[in-house]
Structure 1
Amino acid sequence: MQRDVANLEATGKLHLDWHPRLVQGLLQTPAYAREIIAAAHPEGPQLDAAVAARMARQSLLYDPTTTLRFLIGEAALRWPIASMTTLVGQLDRLLLFASEGTVDFGIVPFEVPFGAFSYHAWSILAERANNEPDLVEIGLETAKVDITDPEQTTAYRDAFERMSLVALKGEAAVALIRRIRLELQRRPC
């Protein structure tokens, strides 16, 4: 599955990725990825291979011909998959993305109206090879929905841009991550 995702990701030069509850695969630490994959596929005998393949996909982060834009909801910073230690480690990684500016990374905080109807995650692949239409991928519990209808893909792009306007970025994102990280470390285990 991870190889299929990597092949699809390679078709777009512009990636817009929103998730209200989780950190996206391209930004995950190995431990966070392991917890997500294990939760989704508890009987999966190839957990190590799946985690390694997800980590290999992260080479896209260093492709200068690809523009990556990530938005996450504040819930992703607060809600552990399995362990608080893993979440804190994931927050450390997000601090790097928020402060370095190597990717366009933003957090939609709880306290702002975000101006879009979006209860679910989605990824948009645009500027695709061979003039393929923009693709919106929606991951559901048991299936994946792909949308290429221009009117619908435009609606998702517009929603992404509205959320991007209220997202915390740079130093504001760093401050929020640090504050939440400190709160999590102070919680009794």
Structure 2
Amino acid sequence: MADVEATGRLHLDWHPRLVQGLLQTPDYAREIFRCAYSDGPELQAAVAARMARQALLFDSGTTLRFLIGEAALRWPIETARTLVSQLDRLLLFLADGTANIGIVPFSAPFGAFSYHAWSVLAERDEGLPDLVEIGLETAKVDITDPEQTTAYREAFERLSAVALTGDRAMELIRQIRQELTDS
């Protein structure tokens, strides 16, 4: 995955229900991977690989834009404590500008919503075509057809138009964080 990610200078990443891998804390990633691996070397290797990929966040030659559905901020994978730590990390990224993050709130018009997660890698090395990656339960789908990749880029912009960013995104995350810690 890291090799493919390195081919694009522009990353557009949408997920309606989870925080994306490049933004995850180790504990949040561990809880996700625990759905597929039992505790042990495979689980630890998966978490370590995910954390290593995060070096891309600090690559000044790459533009990363993340859109996260509000459900991801409210749905603990295993524990509320881990989700609260994950929300704290998102707040740090928003505060210091490490990542361009938008939150698509439940109040956004449904016409802007996209049902599944996907990533667009664009402005790729050596004239490679734009690539849309869609992770399914048992497989990964890669799309390079220009009409289809354009449709995903346009969908990203529709989602971006209704996303909360900056202070408004931070306000929603803080509100949800408070709800999680109060319950």
Corresponding residue for residue 167 of structure 2 = 171
Q: Which runs of 5 or more residues in structure 2 are unaligned?
A: none
Moved over 4 A (4+): none
**1:42 deviation in Å?**
3.7
1:52 corresponds, among 43, 48, 51, to 48
Moved more, 117-126 or 154-163: 117-126
Instruction: Tell me which amino acid in the other structure corresponds to 1:98.
Output: L
Question: Identity across aligned pairs (percent)?
Answer: 74
**1:164 deviation in Å?**
0.3
The answer to whether residue 99 in structure 2 is matched with residue 108 in structure 1 is: no
Q: Distance in 2 between matches of 1:117 and 1:103?
A: 22
Moved more, 163-172 or 93-102: 93-102
Q: Distance in 2 between matches of 1:148 and 1:43?
A: 36
Corresponding residue for residue 140 of structure 1 = 136
Moved more, 93-102 or 111-120: 111-120
Q: Which runs of 5 or more residues in structure 1 are unaligned?
A: none
Q: Distance in 2 between matches of 1:63 and 1:56?
A: 13
How big is each residue's C-alpha offset from its partner over 1:62-104, in whole Å with a ceiling of 9 and x where there is no partner?
Answer: 0000000000000000001011110000000010122222221
Length-normalised TM-score, structure 2: 0.96
- Quick check: 1:14–1:126 contact (8 Å CA) kept in 2? yes
Cα 1:142/1:75, change in 2 over 3 Å? same
Moved more, 98-107 or 39-48: 39-48
The answer to whether residue 169 in structure 2 is matched with residue 153 in structure 1 is: no
1:43-122 aligned at under 5 Å gives the runs: 45-113=41-109, 115-122=111-118
Q: How many residues in Structure 1 have an aligned counterpart in Structure 2?
A: 183
